[in-house]
Structure 1
């Protein structure tokens, strides 16, 4: 286990409208920020440049690492439908356009793996390989463009029951532009509701491919996005696993109530796991 490692610095996720209330906190610690405006198709098809201009004006004095949550509503990146695949490719390009204009270097996208997949990936006909092939067909061109832009797609677990599936998918690209994200509440849901491993196992499975974490507490029943301490996620075990891996992911608090960000950060700091 890694020893004498500096405590990692927390960041946060939020829509741009909530950022002014947290700007001092973000700035004083050089904290990471993940903007969540660009998940919406209406914005991506509309005046996204206006939103970028607002963000750049607001964040002019902030020196942290900037990412954005990419689009995900209404599709999977492993879709079999060629018409939907074209939509997915366009959404990924729109996200890259926004990231490039913002100066963001990380985009969160959603894993295609479902609970149903877990029991069916090794059926006859090689469905495991087919999922990976479909993802390459959907986002392969976007990954190549991300490489050129210096942007990294991080694949976030949603229903994933075996964290090694998502790892294999990310590794299949052989690209510095594809790495892993872990959402602690999603992993805890999978553990409690579907028999997946505990959250710290997801961290160890990701290893040095882990570039991003959504920190949220939950009860294992629903996607709560509570502040740490409100649910049953074992954050001490998660941070211990992070230290073991040696990875240095962005650690972004993703809370349903963004007014809880500073108190949640203070709670994790009091535990001695982060600053």
Structure 2
């Protein structure tokens, strides 16, 4: 019989965005009942990581992770695509993600979530896989000895490789680096295949999660309970693989816009109550 585990609740919040003051983001995280945070910085301005570290600690929260650069959300690169076979794009992407790792270390976090690449052609799968392997190896080298983990996220359909967790898991196992893991985006899994199967494919490599809901057709980032994901089955899959990490909401914008959209009762049986 699989033991049901109640896990820590977390949420992604933004940092450095003028229209979303960080103090208000922390207030919202506390209202949700989150204990840990994933930070999405405005990477182009590289907001002060030490100031963030102090503000998070002052609220009694823990910085768990940061979302690394991707696409046009870059620091110095024109675009970040870790799977790009084009040397200049690939090198610039790796350099920006190294900067993200340094930022995360200064902020006091542990896990950097990275995308395996952008929309691509199935015919380019092998050169893109080779590029992704080289990029992840370079990031693992940069993280060696720091305690940081680079956790590759499964994507919606159209990313080759990257849309299927099994492909990412095989690559990370081949690289066999303690600095590498996986991020399971349950809503992306719901679009690409099914949430349970993709979770089982991640197995013991699963490092962290992105949790939001959709109808199986569009990556809408709704709070849990506003889509068609079978949440009890998904949590049973987490129990089956022995995942003990946090449940990190990635629907902060929806909740920020309308707090009534958040339905805590959906996750309540599976996450532990935040200390008061």
TM above 0.5: yes
Q: As a proportion of its length, which structure holds more helix?
A: 1
Q: Give the match for residue 26 of structure 2.
A: 20
CA gap 1:262/1:173 in 2 versus in 1, 3 angstroms: farther
Provide the C-alpha distance between the structure 1 equivalents of 2:266 and 2:62, rounded to a whole number of angstroms.
20
Aligned-pair CA distance for 1:217: 0.5
1:72 aligns with 2:70: yes
Aligned-pair CA distance for 1:142: 1.8
Q: How many residues align?
A: 250
Q: Give the match for residue 146 of structure 2.
A: 149
1:111 aligns with 2:108: no
Unaligned runs of 5+ in 2: 16-21, 72-78
Aligned-pair CA distance for 1:263: 6.9
CA gap 1:70/1:262 in 2 versus in 1, 3 angstroms: farther
CA gap 1:268/1:147 in 2 versus in 1, 3 angstroms: farther
- Superposition TM-score, scaled by structure 1 size: 0.81
Q: Give the match for residue 18 of structure 2.
A: none
Matches within 5 A, 1:208-247: 208-247=204-243
Runs of at least 4 residues off by over 6 Å: 260-263
Q: 2:201 aligns with which of 192, 205, 208?
A: 205
Q: Give the match for residue 37 of structure 1.
A: 41
The farther-off stretch of 160-169 and 86-95 is: 160-169
1:186 aligns with 2:188: yes
Aligned-pair CA distance for 1:96: 1.0
Provide the C-alpha distance between the structure 2 equivalents of 1:274 and 1:262, rounded to a whole number of angstroms.
20
Aligned-pair CA distance for 1:223: 1.2
1:170 aligns with 2:168: no
Q: Is the Cα–Cα contact under 8 Å of residues 188 and 219 in structure 2 kept in the other structure?
A: yes
Q: Give the match for residue 98 of structure 1.
A: 103
Unaligned runs of 5+ in 1: 122-126, 191-195
